[in-house]
Amino acid sequence: MIEWYVFLSVSLSVLLVLFLSGPPLFVSFLLVNLGTVLMLLGERGLILVANSIFDSANIASLSAIPLFILMGEILTRSGSVENLFRAMDGLIGRVPGRQYVLTVAISVIFGALSGAAMAVAAMLGRSLYPTMIDRGYDRGLSIGTILAGASLAPIIPPSVLIVVIATLADVSVGRLLIAGVGPGLVAAVLILLYIALRVSRREKSAPEVPDTARRGWREIVRSIGLLLPFSIIIFAVMGLILLGVATPSEAAASGVLGSVLVAAIYGRFSLRMIRESVSSAMLITAMIMVIVASSNLFGQMLGLTGATRGLIDWGGALADNPCVLLTLLLAIVFVLCMFIDQIALMLILVPIYKPLVEAAGFDPIWFWLLVLLNLSVGGITPPFGYTMFAFKATAPEIGLGPIYRAAWPFVGVFIVLMAVVVAVPGIATWLPTAMN
């Protein structure tokens, strides 16, 4: 029998090489798992592969994934989010750094509607960034604010990333979804505080707010009216989960109906839009399901080779000093996020981390929420953060150097956020506990 640490080292090395060499993520992960099964068990192992795929496809909680994706596709393709821009622009009055505040506010709301960081970064890059530059806002701070705002999307529910993490880690999807609310809002506040500090110290960071930014009560009422339809979706998803009326999958289905209703209210509904949204959601979901099945199979391989037992023993040795173990586990995620796609990293580490979390006795909701925060900031961590490249695609005239420099201060903001959640676990655990 192959030693577990040899199996783990070789598997991770092959995975990293494949991830960095260019093949699609789901293809790389599936190929490594198939190769490992054939090497360890021969042709008999193909039965294990088939059972793993079947079991993964029958995990009820994963049904929320295509529904959340479809909800975001409908909102984006219907153009309904344009009304969100107009509504928030009408509500934010004469405040210093007005466009920065607008960016963060829209990011919070769209994060509660979509959950896709790349989509938010691309949307804000196309719509708000040119306006900010035309009005004289600091380029670096504008880019950083957009990247930081987009990073809120995977944290604030609904979030496909949360569903996948919860499923692989075998924790409650609903509780982990709800756990993201507190840290997401705290993150928004920290981002605004940092922006306020930058604006107060440097006059050129934000131009003087024009008198036209003053809003009368008619404009405020009109903006609230534009914003109200989006409350249908937020209540259909988060409201029903918080009230205990619906499971995450049922709430996701309600969210899809809500997004269709919102598109109809704004006069953006069409059968072509629905067809394109369903087609795109099916493609993304198929890739995610292959990855999830491969990750579950990887976890079974860890058990067969004794890696799971070895990791538990290693974690038990560090259990007497949980602070060291927690710091080490989170530091590994943070460093690897600089070079590896965040979803790929999650699928590798969750099966490895799961026995360590159990051995150390960490609250699973709290710990996996910290991993989620780490993965989210990984999207804006140079050199390979995917959120940065999504923004770069909307502003090709900007080099990667300025984007990297703009991102680092906000990476620091998220590190502060993780430290706050470590020091005050209730930020993540209070709402899930209240649901019981």
pLDDT tens for residues 230-282? 888 888 888 888 888 888 888 889 989 999 999 998 888 899 999 998 998 88
- Give the residue, 237 or 203, on which the prediction is more confident: 237
pLDDT of amino acid 4? 66
Q: How many helices (H) and strands (E) does the chain have?
A: 22, 0
In this structure, what token pair is assigned to residue 290?
A: 């292959």
User: Which residues 6+ apart lie within 8 Å of 17 measured at CB?
Assistant: none
Contact between 199 and 104 under an 8 Å Cβ cutoff? The reply is no
Position 149 confidence tier, pLDDT thresholds 50, 70, 90 = very high
Is residue 119 over pLDDT 60? yes
What's the whole-number mean pLDDT along residues 128-143? 89
Phi, psi of 359 (to 5 degrees): -65, -35
Is residue 335 over pLDDT 50? yes
Q: In whole angstroms, what is the distance from residue 310 CA to residue 417 CA? A: 32
Is residue 51 over pLDDT 80? no
Is residue 94 over pLDDT 80? no
- The DSSP letter of residue 335 is H
In this structure, what token pair is assigned to residue 130?
A: 């040119």
For the chain, percent of residues with pLDDT exceeding 90: 23
Residues 145/209/197/150 CA torsion (nearest 10 deg) = -10
What is this structure's pTM? 0.79
Is residue 192 over pLDDT 90? yes
Residue recorded with tokens 């804006």:
380
pLDDT of amino acid 210? 55
Position 215 confidence tier, pLDDT thresholds 50, 70, 90 = low
- Give the residue, 334 or 76, on which the prediction is more confident: 334
- Listed range (105-114, 133-142, 261-270) with the worst mean pLDDT: 105-114
Q: Per residue in 373-411, is it b (16+ CB within 10 Å) or e — as a string?
A: bbbbbbbbbeebbbbbebbbebbeebeeeebbebbeebb
Greatest Cα pair distance in the chain = 75
What's the whole-number mean pLDDT along residues 319-335? 82
Position 211 confidence tier, pLDDT thresholds 50, 70, 90 = very low
Q: In whole angstroms, what is the distance from residue 388 CA to residue 58 CA? A: 35
SS3 category, 245: coil
User: Which residues 6+ apart lie within 8 Å of 429 measured at CB?
Assistant: 179, 363, 365, 366
Residue recorded with tokens 């975001």:
72
pLDDT of amino acid 319? 60
Position 188 confidence tier, pLDDT thresholds 50, 70, 90 = very high
Residue 102 sits at the vertex; the CA angle it makes with 100 and 104, to the nearest 5 degrees, is 75
Q: In whole angstroms, what is the distance from residue 429 CA to residue 168 CA? A: 20
Is residue 128 over pLDDT 50? yes
